[in-house]
């Protein structure tokens, strides 16, 4: 298990200009009881496990890009039992928090204090991670960085469990559950699709496949967004 020393250069800021530290976690996540992929993290992990079992895929390595409170990462690691785990987050508070969690001691887990945009590919000289997680993260990254982020991720992972709320999603959430996120950049579905398409195919709900991946089991034409 390894941890990079803290570096103030890796502090990330939201659309409102505030850093992702204590105020963000309390304002946006609160108790976490009503946040998707937090209160139901185990169900997300079970879904992906079931899908991968169906396709005879066996992830032996997992990477989480923006692990936050690590609730989703923990459930994915528990259900897949990977040999190699990598986790990155720009929040020093979350880095400190995961270092204190007992469950990480049972796994070959390395975590890094960094933004996704600051990750350097030269550090990923092993085969790609089978499965990556990028859950509700890229809405916090500035437009100018996003093309390089997706280009980078499709080289690091074969499959990416990916979610991002669109502008219409935020409108719906504000109406239905009175939720707003001043830290997020609100973008259209078409905007994200244009960014993703050169690097990933959408092969299932929340699941992207890197276009570099060979011999894909997701080959039924009707169900693959190519």
Q: What is the pLDDT of residue 13?
A: 81
Tokens of 6: 């803290």
Distance of alpha carbon 57 from alpha carbon 217, whole angstroms? 8
Q: Given this model, what pLDDT does residue 3 score?
A: 44
Report the distance separating Cα 67 and Cα 87, nearest Å: 6
Q: Select from 3.50.50.60, 3.40.50.150, 3.40.50.300, 3.30.420.40 the CATH code of 24-223.
A: 3.40.50.150
Closest alpha carbon to 165 in 130, 139, 143: 139
The secondary structure of residue 30, as a DSSP letter, is: T
- The tens digit of pLDDT for each residue in 165-208 reads 999 999 999 999 888 899 999 999 999 999 999 999 999 999 99
Q: Name the residue with tokens 């200009």.
A: 17
pLDDT of residue 28: 66
3-state secondary structure of 57: coil
Domain ranges of the chain: 24-223
Give every residue of the chain whose pLDDT is below 70, as ranges.
1-11, 22, 25, 28-34
């Amino acid at each position: 298990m390894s941890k990079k020393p803290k570096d103030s250069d890796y502090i990330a800021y939201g659309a409102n200009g505030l850093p992702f530290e204590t105020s963000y976690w309390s304002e946006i996540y609160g108790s976490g009881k009503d946040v998707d992929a937090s209160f139901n993290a185990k169900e997300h992990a079970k879904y992906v496990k079931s899908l991968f079992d169906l396709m005879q895929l066996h992830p032996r390595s997992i990477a989480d890009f923006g692990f936050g409170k690590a609730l989703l990462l923990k459930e994915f690691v528990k259900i897949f039992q990977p040999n190699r785990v990598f986790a990155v987050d720009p929040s020093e508070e979350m880095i400190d928090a995961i270092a204190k969690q007992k469950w990480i001691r049972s796994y070959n887990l390395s975590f890094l204090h960094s933004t996704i945009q600051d990750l350097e590919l030269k550090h990923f000289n092993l085969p790609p991670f089978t499965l990556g997680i990028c859950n509700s993260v890229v809405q916090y990254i500035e437009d100018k960085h996003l093309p390089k982020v997706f280009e980078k991720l499709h080289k690091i992972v074969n499959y990416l469990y990916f979610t991002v709320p669109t502008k219409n999603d935020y409108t719906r959430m504000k109406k239905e559950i009175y939720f707003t996120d001043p830290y997020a950049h609100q973008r259209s579905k078409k905007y994200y699709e244009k960014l993703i398409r050169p690097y990933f195919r959408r092969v299932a709900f929340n699941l992207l496949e890197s276009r570099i991946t060979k011999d894909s089991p997701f080959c039924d034409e009707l169900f693959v967004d190519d």
